[in-house]
């Protein structure tokens, strides 16, 4: 990117935000028609099978639904959660929702994840994104250990995917 970041994140700092409430948004420089709202909605996040956030595209706007736990972490400057928001915006910015086949193949999914990670690295810096992904790797390993699934195919796949994402950012 050219030094000036095309997006700015605005996030509410208040507590006791009701479910379904807008808690922030991304603004895009020079594009007043761009709308990306951040909405607190534990149910939408849970329905998607995600833990922290999920992005949905509507004809007139993008929406990133986040969980209450993610909002709390963001308000406390959570590095992983901030990365996750910028990563989701990366999917929007790169047009991953424009293709009906998006995410259909494992190769395409990995490519889109790398593009979204790369966008987040452009916005936040490679070191910050590498650290956030490293934290995600630690948490994955801790959860797998607590569930006694270390070494299982699912655990190995998740760990390898996170390591590949970290290496891709470092080599960007």
pLDDT tens-digit profile of 119-151? 999 999 999 999 999 999 999 999 999 999 988
Q: Is residue 109 part of a domain?
A: yes
Alpha carbon distance 96, 116 (integer Å): 9
Q: Please report the pLDDT score of residue 98 as a whole number.
A: 59
Q: Write phi, then psi, for 62 (nearest 5 degrees).
A: -105, 145
Range of the domain at 40: 7-170
Confidence category of residue 110, pLDDT binned at 50, 70, 90: confident
Report pTM: 0.87
Whether residue 63 lies inside any domain: the answer is: yes
Is residue 55 a part of any domain in this protein? yes
Give the CA radius of gyration of the chain: 16
Give Cα 20 to chain centroid, integer Å. 19
pLDDT digits (tens, 9 = 90+) for 12-48: 988 888 999 999 999 999 999 999 999 999 999 999 9
The number of domains in the chain is: 1
Residue 142 lies in a domain: yes
Cα separation, 64 vs 40, whole angstroms: 9
Q: Are the C-beta atoms of 71 and 52 separated by less than 8 Å?
A: no
**Average confidence (pLDDT) over 69-93:** 94
Q: In the numeric block, which tokens belong to residue 101?
A: 């086949």
Please tell me which residue, 102 or 138, carries the higher pLDDT value: 138
Does any domain span residue 2? Answer: no
Where does residue 151 fall: left (phi above 0), alpha (psi -120 to 50 degrees), or beta otherwise? left
CA 12 – CA 17 distance, rounded (Å): 9
Closest to 38 in 3D by CA, of 79, 100, 92, 76? 92
Residue 62 has a pLDDT of: 96
Pairing mode, if any, of strands 36-40 and 61-66?
parallel
> The tokens 């699934």 sit on which residue?
149
Write out pLDDT tens, residues 70-81.
999 999 999 999
Q: Is residue 32 part of a domain?
A: yes
The mean per-residue pLDDT over the stretch 47-54 comes to 92
Q: Would 16 be classed as within a structural domain?
A: yes
């Amino acid at each position: 990117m050219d030094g000036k970041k095309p997006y700015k994140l605005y996030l509410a700092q208040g507590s006791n935000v009701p479910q379904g409430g807008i808690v922030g948004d991304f603004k895009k420089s020079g594009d007043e028609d761009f709308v990306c709202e951040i909405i607190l909605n534990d149910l939408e996040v849970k329905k998607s099978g995600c833990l922290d956030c999920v992005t949905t595209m509507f004809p007139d706007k993008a929406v990133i639904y986040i969980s209450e736990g993610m909002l709390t972490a963001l308000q406390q400057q959570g590095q992983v959660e901030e990365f996750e928001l910028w990563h989701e915006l990366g999917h929007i910015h790169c047009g991953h929702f424009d293709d009906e086949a998006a995410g259909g193949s494992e190769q395409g999914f990995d490519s889109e994840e790398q593009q979204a990670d790369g966008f987040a690295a452009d916005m936040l810096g490679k070191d910050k994104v590498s650290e956030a992904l490293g934290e995600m790797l630690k948490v994955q390993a801790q959860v797998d250990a607590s569930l006694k699934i270390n070494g299982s195919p699912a655990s190995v796949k998740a760990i390898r995917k996170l390591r590949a994402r970290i290496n891709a950012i470092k080599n960007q």
